[in-house]
Amino acid sequence: NAGVTQTPKFQVLKTGQSMTLQCAQDMNHEYMSWYRQDPGMGLRLIHYSVGAGITDQGEVPNGYNVSRSTTEDFPLRLLSAAPSQTSVYFCASTPRARYEQYFGPGTRLTVT
The footprint of other proteins (CB under 8 A) covers 30-31, 33, 35, 40-45, 48, 50-51, 54, 58-59, 88, 90, 92, 94, 96-98, 100-101, 103, 105-106
> Quick one: residue 77, left, alpha or beta (phi over 0 = left, psi -120 to 50 = alpha)?
beta
Nearer Cβ to other proteins (44/75): 44
Query: Could you give the maximum distance between any two Cα atoms of the chain, in Å?
Result: 40
Nearer Cβ to other proteins (16/51): 51
CB of 16 to other proteins, least distance (A): 27
Contact between 49 and 55 under an 8 Å Cβ cutoff? The reply is yes
Strand partners, 64: 78
